[in-house]
Structure 1
Amino acid sequence: MKKYARVVSGKVDNLFETNNPITEEFPSDQVWVDVTALPKIDYSWNAVNTDGAWTFSDSDPWGQPSWLSIQLRSERAPRLDRANATLASTALPYKVELGLATPADEAGLLAYKQFFIDMSNVNKQPGYPLTVTWPELP
């Protein structure tokens, strides 16, 4: 899996991981940089292209995550935690896998799978990361 940073006005405004070429995921007029090999990168980092070589630096000299990154993580984590806890406590994946699921169980598992897909696509929303419409839990 590769990790990419979208650069807008000299700043990282989106991070995205995919197995597909980034041009299959987003319009070709956007600037995406492969940052897979970088140990750390975050939203709002400075991005500079010097003769085709990109460099990234944190604007915070103490290396603290940006307020936007902290906010996104604090809103995302409880949603995923709640969904995973529900799946674990109801054993829906195991019921389906073992053929013990009712039609309602199967529909519930599909709803959770769609929720996880929708969560993984939040960063494709227009206005992201400043505007986010979080998917509803099933």
Structure 2
Amino acid sequence: MPGSQISTAVSLNISRKEEKMIRYVYIEMINVMPFPKVLQVVDAEQMPDSPGVPGNWVEVSVDTPAQPGWKAQFTATGWVFSEPTYEDHVGIATNRMHQLLSSASGWLSVNPLQYKLDLGLATPDEEATLQAYKQYYINVCEVKNQSGYPYTINWPAAPF
């Protein structure tokens, strides 16, 4: 009996070793980012489902270091992952800032509150909305003055 337990344990270990784990890295591919970014890392026997964000799963060696948030670069030898540099974080923040300011400008183009104010046609609520918009625009532009910039940014909430 003791020998059969050992043999069963050995066969279980062998079958576990035969299961091949593969490292899958989900690379987020969004055009507003200055570089492709690792979104998820999974060691599994088969490719996981997409997390619903534009990007692709890539298969890499199980010993390939990769962490969510790291930069992904495709080279002649395959995918290489690295922690973003200070300059990379500045690029991410700058792209996000441009995206938010563009959205704010787009909103104002279809809500001409400044013109209403200039012509004396703005209601008190519209004047308050315009002031909130201007303050938001200033706050987005000044995120670079935050103490955690560019690694940690408290982005202002849009008033529109």
Structure whose alpha-carbon radius of gyration is higher: 2
- TM-score, normalised with respect to structure 2: 0.43
User: Which structure is richer in relative contact order (CA contacts within 8 A, separation 6 or more)?
Assistant: 1
